[in-house]
Structure 1
């Protein structure tokens, strides 16, 4: 028990000496031992302090669902109208925006996958099914 008290006093004196040296010599370079100790303590604290998972804001989810519904209705409208000026260009732009929103919705819902994956109908269908399985609707 006495050795723990002695170790505590020793560490306290080391900390006070370090503080005093920092006040007197503020621009001294850190030693290799000190840098290694700092790296080790940073690694240890990062393991001990787990990141808290923040629950998504329900209003962000609702806003995303509303935007997805709006874009899907616009896509259906452009596809069903036979004579639309620059139809292919509009469809490509709307589908790209829809895919970006799907990626954001998947990230928000916690769907595993890579957002940089090649765009395709199969990927879009898979993301829609994953979101629907998690209770999303639009």
Structure 2
């Protein structure tokens, strides 16, 4: 029990000493050469902005494959009349399909439709925008 009390006292003294050292030793301003490097880096960033990276074509391919898989599952559930928890599965697959469409539109650079609600019209617009950009699934 004594060792626990001594450990607490030691930790308390360390915290207090660290706080006092921070108050006693002020932060030094950066050296002249460090300020010059920072100004040069800021000037370089203004003159030559960093271009956004091009999307990875394999990410696009993976996304197209996932879109195809989910759309095939949706068609399969819609065509089969006797499926356990059909409505629940269909809602879950449509939500996943909508999320994949949103991600594909972001990746392809499609403009966001003004209506943010999930609907058949939004899904159709996104599919048409992706098809116009050459996407197939």
User: What are the Cα deviations for residues 33-78 of structure 1, in whole angstroms up to 9, with x where unaligned?
Assistant: xxxxx9x999866543423121111111110000000000000000
1:121 paired residue number: 120
- Are residues 1:68 and 2:72 paired? no
Unaligned runs of 5+ in 1: 1-24, 31-37
RMSD: 2.8
1:27-106 alignment, distance < 5 Å: 27-28=27-28, 47-106=46-105
Once superposed, which parts of structure 1, at least 4 consecutive aligned residues long, lie more than 3 Å away? 40-49
In structure 2, the residue matched to 1:111 is 110
Q: TM-score, normalising length from structure 1?
A: 0.66
Distance of 1:27 and 1:92 partners within structure 2: 59
Q: Secondary structure at the match of 2:116?
A: coil
Per the alignment, in what secondary structure is the counterpart of residue 112 of structure 2?
coil
> Residue 114 of structure 1: CA displacement?
5.8
What count of residue pairs does the alignment treat as equivalent? 106
Distance between the aligned counterparts of 1:121 and 1:63, measured in 2? 24
Distance 1:41 1:122, change over 3 A: farther
* 2:10 paired residue number: none
Q: Quick check: 1:103–1:115 contact (8 Å CA) kept in 2?
A: no
Aligned 8 A contact 1:75 1:91 in 2: yes
TM-score, normalized by length of structure 2? 0.67
In structure 1, distance between residues paired with 2:110 and 2:43: 30
Contact 2:113-2:122 within 8 A present in 1 as well? no
